Amino acid sequence: MIDWFISAAHAATQDGGHHGGGGFDPMHQFVINRYTPIELFGYDASFTNASLWMVIATTLVTAVLVFSTAGAKLVPGRLQSLGEISYEFVANMVRQNAGTSGMPYFPIIFTLFMFILSLNLLGMIPIPGLGQFTVTSHIIVTFALAAFVFLGVTLIGIFKHGFGFLKLFVPSGVPIALLPLISVIEIISYFTRPISLSVRLFANMMAGHTMLAVFGSFVVGLGVNVGLAAGGVPLIFMVLLMGLEILIAFLQAYVFAVLSCIYLSDSLHAGSH
């Protein structure tokens, strides 16, 4: 993975960052390329590199889970252990944050967690012929996932409680004089959930990969212009950053899933607020 960032930075430095000699561009790794142009009802629905990586992530997760449960044994092997640990981890997350009433929605939370985690981790692994691309570094993808969660939990709350769902915006124990102000704040806070949920994931993934690309350029620049030994210091930082970025990839998937559980809990128990 580190070799890829260094080689990509070196190639970008040699060809001017793919911008006609304009210098190294660490943001070029986020460019979306159209593989198959498709237009539906006046909208661009082209199959892109982002689409391809999402297909790869979905296929990989599906394969791992299917093979981990096929021929399950009393003493699990590595693949079966991975599937069971993933299941129990998300199940405990749902029970702790949404209660037992949230377990019927476990498949959705599990799918979201595994999908985002796989996209985050795949963004760290270069594939020969495809290079490297982080789907979750694009706000349109993370916002679509956040909007799905937001609309889903809102509809669940409305169908379950009807007008009682509005109690979510009226915290108990608030003085009547402050109720209009607090309710407005609660409403604004509620409708900004998809924005905060999507920006958190997008910003962390983009910032991390941009920093890795920048340090890769430092390794190349110092190694070429000063000497191989000079690139050692930024290389060490790059190794540490790579480990940190892997941790962040897991952490951001976890945070997204936990917040989704919390929002689900609010909808399920809105009538009791």
54-58, 103-107, 112-116, 211-215: range with lowest mean pLDDT: 211-215
- The pLDDT score that the predictor gives to residue 20 is 45
- The pLDDT score that the predictor gives to residue 232 is 64
Between 94 and 179, where is the model more confident?
Answer: 94
Across the range 60-71, mean pLDDT stands at 88
CB of 230 closer than 8 Å to CB of 178: no
Q: What is the mean pLDDT of the chain?
A: 83
- The pLDDT score that the predictor gives to residue 132 is 79
Between 128 and 136, where is the model more confident?
Answer: 136
Across the range 62-81, mean pLDDT stands at 83
Across the range 15-37, mean pLDDT stands at 66
Domain ranges of the chain: 2-272
Distance (Å, whole) CA 180 – CA 31? 46
Distance (Å, whole) CA 21 – CA 51? 30
Query: Which residues have C-beta within 8 Å of that of residue 22, sequence separation ≥ 6?
Result: 16
- The pLDDT score that the predictor gives to residue 263 is 95
CB of 136 closer than 8 Å to CB of 117: no
- Has residue 273 got a pLDDT over 50? yes
- The pLDDT score that the predictor gives to residue 24 is 59
Tens digit of each residue's pLDDT (9 = 90 or more) over 143-160: 999 999 999 999 999 999
Distance (Å, whole) CA 112 – CA 108? 6
Across the range 62-69, mean pLDDT stands at 89
CB of 10 closer than 8 Å to CB of 231: no
Report which secondary-structure segment, H or E, holds 154: helix 139-161
Distance (Å, whole) CA 97 – CA 91? 10
Joined tokens for residue 91: 């199940």
